[in-house]
A and B are shown apart, each in its own frame.
Chain A
Amino acid sequence: MFETLILILDSTVRLSTPLLLACLAGLYSERSGVVDIGLEGKMLGAAFGAGAVGYITGSAWLGLLAGIGVACVLALIHGFASITNRGNQIVSGVAINFLAIGLTGLLGQTWFQQGGRTPALPDGGRFENINLPLAETLSGVPVIGQIYSELLSGHNIIVYMAFAAVPLTWWVLFRTRFGLRLRAVGENPAAVDTAGIDVIWLRYRAVLICGILCGLAGAYLSIAQSSGFIKEMTAGKGFIALAALIFAKWRPGNAMFACLLFGFLDAVAIRLQGQEIPGIGEVPVQFFQALPYILTVILLAGFIGKAIPPKASGIPYLKERT
């Protein structure tokens, strides 16, 4: 029983990681007042960039860099449309998602001729799992040793980066001058502007951080979790991350728990597929798949607290009326 639990929690961590990175990415963007439903597209683009460069160079780190680069380019398109041109941010996000699906499929087929996927990564092209010190030695110790060696140890570097990004994001947002300004620009950009701070530049920086984190999330999918890019491999994870962001009420700590919860649901769904639960019977796997969305809707309905987005999110900032 305990071992099963450890195994489920272990896969929870693996499944939560891309959600968490994308969720934190959305957090920076939306806290600055730029709504981003293009997380999915940026992740997908990054996964492709990482998979392609990882395969060609055989270096996971160069792959990661390429993934981040692709996501940042897409993020800048979103920024140009929604910050500079004051276009509709939802529409821009939808466009990013379309572009990512189309371009990854098209270029993937052109470059690698494998129906849109990238070839399996060579040695070194993939982030390997890291065994924490003493994991082997302690694995015999009951409970604590097992938790340490099975659950905490043996993940790849991006998993640890994702969970380290949570306190870091908290510190940046709530303990630095940049974070204060970032939150202010999402609530009341006019006040920030009056204080002599450049609203446009501030929002661009937020959107770029969003791109970097989406790049990590995408690279995780293609060169850490699996060995290569598969067509449309994000499969809605960007939208689950968006749901998690709302579920977390735009706070970094909550974001981690929301992503762990949604990852846990996913892990349980995989585990329980075709199995009977005593007293309930077989629960359809689709129910678990839909549960994150259902929970978010229930939250939005105001039955579990209240989710209030940053006040200026979705509204382009206009310095002067013409």
Chain B
Amino acid sequence: MSAGQLPRWVDYGLIPLLNLAAAFLVSGLVVVLIGENPLDAVKVLLWGSLGYGEGFGFTLFFATNFIFTGLAVAVAFHAGLFNIGGEGQAYLGGLGVAFACLALDQYVPWWVTLPFAILGSALMGAAWAFIPAWLQAKRGSHVVITTIMFNFIAASLMVYLLNNVMKKAGSMQSETRTFEEGGRLPFLNDIFPGFGFDYAPVNLSLFVAFLACILVWLLIWRTKLGFEIRSFGANPTAAVYAGINPVRIIIVTMLISGGLAGMMAINEIMGSQHRLLIDYVAGYGFVGIAVALMGRSHPVGIVLAAILFGMLYQGGAELSFEMPAITRDMIVVIQGLVILFAGALEYLFRPALIRLFSAGRSPAAQAA
């Protein structure tokens, strides 16, 4: 079951496609089970997510969230760490964005606020990842467990803050006041009217997300720190013998991961909602796990997987409108199946493929 038994294109191309196909096949069966036609559902889903400008705009908007949370999970994966706390880190990231926007929005234009919002979101996300990181590095308590705990602590903390500290005066809603112009990112529809994004909230943070992808690629594959992160992930014992400090790698990686998750809030809070509110993360942090798995922890793969999940989110909304029997829960089912087949069952088709490919090759080629 080791690498190298299969050609690279099978490992990185065919197997993910097979896994995805299996997940969609089972999803189709679920649609049949509730008495709808899966092919019609696929048609509605594709049209709703790609067929017209506004739908595509929504797809890109959701994809922006998934790029950030996917990158967050992927960076941690490279160090062999499982950051399941993207949910909480993104939630806290919203606090950083809100601080920057509430402080500056009345005085300066958005492009002055943006760097502070990015910094704020990344700092708050990283801060929320720090204690689990420190506990893993120093005390050996498993980062999976601590980040789950921190998701729940974050939820309680934010409800408290939004109800008791940051609430808009005289409002019944648990949310801050709406940001002024200086705290709002331009919508892409205003920058590129030609695409016809209309009311889709896709905004400038899409480009921030692309920039983050490039920076993550540079970090992981072109810097010394990235090399250390990958070495530590591949073989912690060997990495320590090579003089890599495990405490430093665990903490730095988790801080970067948490920071990336926190930056999701730029898209949601500064780009779309223009106020900090309860539960705006809505599972995007968890979907990041699926995105990172599907994208094989590579920025290019993550962008593709994020767009796929963006399509599912937007197309799913359209689907629940066109075919009321298929509620939005169907999207959660598909996500679950994708995580199951692309993640937990990733070896399902491998043995068969290995047999298939080694049967095709001559004994001489096998010996080589």
Contacts and interface: CB of A to CB of B under 8 A. Distances in A.
A287 interface: yes
Interface residues of B, number: 49
A82 interface: yes
Contacts of B146: 297, 300
A91 B343 contact: yes
Given A236-B152, A287-B160, A103 B344 contact: no
A92 B343 contact: yes
B286 A94 contact: yes
B329 A300 contact: no
Given A87-B345, A90-B82, A287 B156 contact: yes
A284 B35 CA distance: 47
Contacts of A107: 33-34
A85 B348 contact: yes
Contacts of A293: 149-150, 152-153
Give the one of A95, A99, A289 with max B CB within 10 A.
A95
B343 A300 contact: no
Nearest to B346: A87
A116 interface: yes
A271 interface: no
A106 B330 contact: yes
Interface stretch (B95-103, B121-129, B135-143, B211-219): B135-143
Nearest to B31: A106
B67 interface: no
Given A91-B293, A110-B325, A300-B146, A239 B152 contact: yes
Interface string B1-27: 110000000000000000000000000
Interface residues of A, number: 51
Interface stretch (B112-120, B241-249, B269-277, B334-342): B334-342
A98 B329 CA distance: 10
A44 B346 CA distance: 25
B30 interface: yes
A255 B356 CA distance: 49
Interface string A278-302: 0000001011011001101100111
Interface in A51-97: 77, 80-82, 85-92, 94-97
A87 B329 contact: no
Contacts of A301: 135, 139, 141
A81 B329 contact: no
B364 to A, nearest CB: 21
B327 A106 contact: yes
A242 interface: yes
Given A110-B34, A290-B152, A98 B286 contact: yes
A243 interface: yes
Contact of B329 (A37, A91, A97, A109): A109
Given A239-B148, A297-B150, A95 B164 contact: no
Nearest to A246: B145
A296 B149 contact: yes
A277 B222 CA distance: 57
A242 B145 contact: yes
Given A82-B344, A85-B347, A287-B160, A95 B149 contact: no
Nearest to A107: B34
Interface string A97-123: 111111111110110000010000000
B177 to A, nearest CB: 22
Contacts of B234: none
A99 B152 contact: no
A103 B333 contact: yes
Interface in A154-212: none
A100 B340 CA distance: 12
Given A107-B34, A110-B34, A94 B141 contact: no
A90 B139 contact: no
A307 interface: yes
B159 A101 contact: no
B156 A297 contact: no
B304 interface: no
A108 B276 CA distance: 32
A155 B192 CA distance: 64
A87 B34 contact: no
A82 to B, nearest CB: 7
A174 B166 CA distance: 52
Contacts of A300: 135, 139, 141-142, 145-146
Nearest to A297: B149
B149 A110 contact: no
A96 B345 CA distance: 12
Nearest to B340: A95
B144 interface: yes
A99 B1 contact: no
Contacts of A296: 145, 149
A126 to B, nearest CB: 25
Contacts of A81: 340, 344-345
Contact of A284 (B84, B164, B331): B164
B339 A102 contact: no
Nearest to A290: B156
A102 B148 contact: no
A102 B332 contact: yes
A4 interface: no
A41 to B, nearest CB: 9
Contacts of B333: 98-99, 102-103, 106
B157 interface: yes
A88 B344 contact: yes
Nearest to A115: B327
18 contacts: A81-B345, A85-B344, A86-B347, A88-B344, A102-B335, A103-B30, A236-B152, A239-B152, A293-B149, A293-B152, A293-B153, A296-B149, A297-B135, A300-B135, A300-B139, A300-B145, A300-B146, A322-B2
Given A102-B329, A290-B152, 20 more contacts: A80-B345, A81-B340, A91-B289, A91-B293, A91-B339, A92-B344, A94-B84, A95-B336, A97-B336, A98-B332, A98-B339, A103-B333, A104-B329, A116-B329, A239-B152, A243-B145, A297-B135, A297-B150, A302-B141, A322-B1
By Cβ-Cβ distance, the 7 closest A-B pairs, closest first, are A98-B336, A102-B332, A105-B329, A102-B333, A92-B344, A300-B141, A99-B336
